Structure 1
Amino acid sequence: MDRIALVTGAGRGIGAATARELGRRGYHVVVNYRRDADAAAAVVRAIETDGGTARAVRADVCDPGAVADLVDACTRVDALVCNANIPPPFAPLAELSWDDFAGKVTGELAAVFHVTRLVLERMRRQGGGGIVYVSSLSADLLRPGTVAHATAKAALDTFARHVAAEAGRHGIAVNTVAPGPVRTEATAAMRTAETEAAFARRSTLGRMLDPEDVATVIATVLASGFGAVSGARIPVDAGYTVLN
C-alpha cells in the first residue's frame, strides 16, 4: 500500500519543497493549501514530473470542520507535516494590540491542534506513523518586534513535546524542525542583502538557507530510519546557534 504524507501549507516555501521531497521518496503527497489553488497545482505537477503522485486539497487548518474533511480525504496518513503559516505581526509589545498578539498565538496552535487530533486517531488505528512540526529558531532568539512570533513558536514546541509523550506508545514518532531564516516568499519583505550576509557571517556554514535545506531534513526524519527519535527539536540553521 502506498505511504501517504499530508503536508499542510504546502503551496509554497518550505511546505512546497517538503511535498516535492516526500514525493521523490515514494510518498503519495496530499498537498494542503488554503488560498492559492494555482500554486498547489504547480506543486502537484512538480511531484508528478519527478515520477511521484500527489493531489491538492483545499482546507483552512484552523477550521475543525475543514480539517475533518481534509483528513477524511486521506485513506491513511503515514506522515504528517504541520507547516501552515499564520502571518505574525512584527512590532514591539508596546505597539501590539491584544487581538493581533492573540491572533498569532491562537492561530499557530489551532493550525496544529485540529489536524493533530484527527491524524493521531488515524495513526493509532494504523499502528504507527510520523509527525513533524515546523517551528522556528525565533523561539530561542530575542529580536526586536518578534514577541508574537516567538511566543507562538515556543508554544508550538511545547505542544509538540506533549504530543510526542502521548503518541509514543502507539508507535508514532513526533519531532520538531526549527529553521533559521529561509529564502521564501513569506520572508521576502524582511530580507535584504545585508541581513542575509549578516546571517551567513554568524553561521558556521557561512550561508543562508533555502526551503530545500529544511525539506531534506523533514523528509529524512520521516522516511529514513529515525523511528527511534521522538520528542526532538532539530535546528536547521546552517550552524547559527553554535556561534550565537
Structure 2
Amino acid sequence: MPTTLITGAARGLGAAVARRLGAQGHRVIVNYRTSSAAAEDVVRDVERAGGMASSARADVTDATAVDTMVTGILAEHGRIDTVIVNANTAPPPFDPLAELSWTAFEAKVTGELAGAFHITKRVLEPMRAQGDGRLIYIGSTAADYVGEGRLAHGTAKSALTTFARHVAAECARDGVSVLVVAPGAVRTPATAGVLAGPRGADLARESVLGRVLEPEDVAAAVALAADPALRPATGTVLRVDGGWSVLVGGPVS
C-alpha cells in the first residue's frame, strides 16, 4: 500500500484528492495547518470508504515544521511514496496591478514557493534512498494564460511549474518522477466568490463540460499522475481545464 502525503488536504481540492486516493488503495496522510477538525473529517471519510488515513499538522512554509512532520511519517510508515504539493499558503488576490499591494503579491508568490521548496527538499532524500517516489505539484493554467485578476496567482503558479521542472531534471535518474497537474477554474472555497459571478458563467460556457471544474474532476487527474506507470512523463504538465485551452485558444504544449 503506497503512503501518500497531501499538503493542504483538510478542505477543497486537497480533501477531494485524499478521498480519491484513499479509495484507490493509498494510505493517505492529510496535512493541515490549523483546520484540525476538517482534517479529521477527511480522515473519517476515507476510513468510512474502506481506506486508511491519518492527519499530520504542519505549516509547510516552515522548514522545521515540515521536517518534524516528515520524520514522524517515516518513523511510523517507513517510507513516503507520493507527495501531492497542494497547500494554498495564501489566498490568491484577484486584483489588477493598480490595485494589488506588494504585501498580497509577495505573500502569494513566496508562500507558494516556500511550501513547495521545504516539502520537496525534505522528502527527496528518502525517496532517492528507496529508489522510487512521485512528486505531484498542483499548478494552474493561470501560469500560461494572461487574464484579468490573474497576476499574482499566475506568477506564483508559473514559478511553481518552473521549480517542478528543475526538480524533475535533478532526480530523473533516481527513480523519482515529477508532474504538475494544472487545473483551470475549479470551484473551491478560495474561488467561490469569483466563480459565482459573470466570470464563472463565461468559463462554464467556454468548457466542453458546460460548467467549471469541481475538485473531484482534478482529483481524478491527480490519481492518474500518481500511478507509477506514468513515470516516463516526468517533468511534464497535465492540464485539466475542461477543454478551455483548445476551445478558446492558447498554449497547450
- Normalised by the length of structure 2, the TM-score is 0.92
Q: More displaced, 137-146 or 187-196?
A: 187-196
Measure how far apart 1:193 and its partner are.
5.6
Measure how far apart 1:208 and its partner are.
1.8
Matches for 1:133-144 after TM superposition, within 5 Å: 133-144=137-148
Name the residue aligned to 1:226: 230
What is the letter of the counterpart of residue 77 of structure 1? I
Report if the CA contact (8 A) 2:194-2:200 is conserved.
no
Partner residue of 1:77 out of 74, 80, 93 = 80
What is the letter of the counterpart of residue 25 of structure 2? G
Q: What is the DSSP-based 3-state SS (H/G/I as helix, E as strand, rest coil) of the residue aligned with 1:207?
A: coil
In structure 2, stretches of 5+ residues that fail to align are: 249-253
1:168 aligned to 2:172?
yes
For residues 232 and 29 of structure 2, what CA distance do their matches in structure 1 show?
A: 25
1:3 aligned to 2:15?
no
Q: Cα deviations across residues 155-190 of structure 1 (Å, max 9, x unaligned)?
A: 001001001111111011100011011111111111
In structure 1, stretches of 5+ residues that fail to align are: none
Taking a change above 3 Å as real, the CA distance of residues 193 and 149 of structure 1, as seen in their structure-2 partners, is closer
1:64 aligned to 2:67?
no
Q: Cα deviations across residues 181-228 of structure 1 (Å, max 9, x unaligned)?
A: 111111111122643331122123332211011001101111262121
What is the letter of the counterpart of residue 83 of structure 1? N
1:115 aligned to 2:119?
yes
Name the residue aligned to 1:104: 108
For residues 137 and 26 of structure 2, what CA distance do their matches in structure 1 show?
A: 18
Q: What is the DSSP-based 3-state SS (H/G/I as helix, E as strand, rest coil) of the residue aligned with 1:225?
A: helix
Q: What is the DSSP-based 3-state SS (H/G/I as helix, E as strand, rest coil) of the residue aligned with 1:104?
A: helix
Q: What is the DSSP-based 3-state SS (H/G/I as helix, E as strand, rest coil) of the residue aligned with 2:239?
A: strand
Measure how far apart 1:99 and its partner are.
2.3
Report if the CA contact (8 A) 1:77-1:129 is conserved.
yes
What is the letter of the counterpart of residue 230 of structure 1? T
Report if the CA contact (8 A) 2:195-2:201 is conserved.
no
Name the residue aligned to 1:36: 35
Q: More displaced, 178-187 or 189-198?
A: 189-198
Name the residue aligned to 1:207: 211
Measure how far apart 1:43 and its partner are.
0.4
Aligned-residue CA RMSD in angstroms?
1.2
For residues 21 and 102 of structure 1, what CA distance do their matches in structure 2 show?
A: 33
For residues 92 and 182 of structure 1, what CA distance do their matches in structure 2 show?
A: 20
Q: More displaced, 142-151 or 47-56?
A: 142-151
Q: What is the DSSP-based 3-state SS (H/G/I as helix, E as strand, rest coil) of the residue aligned with 2:231?
A: coil
For residues 145 and 213 of structure 1, what CA distance do their matches in structure 2 show?
A: 24
Name the residue aligned to 2:183: 179
Report if the CA contact (8 A) 1:203-1:242 is conserved.
no
What is the letter of the counterpart of residue 143 of structure 1? G
For residues 144 and 181 of structure 1, what CA distance do their matches in structure 2 show?
A: 13
Report if the CA contact (8 A) 1:67-1:115 is conserved.
yes
For residues 240 and 8 of structure 2, what CA distance do their matches in structure 1 show?
A: 19
1:127 aligned to 2:126?
no
Measure how far apart 1:95 and its partner are.
2.2
For residues 129 and 157 of structure 1, what CA distance do their matches in structure 2 show?
A: 18
Report if the CA contact (8 A) 2:182-2:240 is conserved.
yes
- Normalised by the length of structure 1, the TM-score is 0.96
What is the letter of the counterpart of residue 148 of structure 2? P
What is the letter of the counterpart of residue 27 of structure 1? H
Measure how far apart 1:25 and its partner are.
1.3
For residues 112 and 93 of structure 2, what CA distance do their matches in structure 1 show?
A: 13
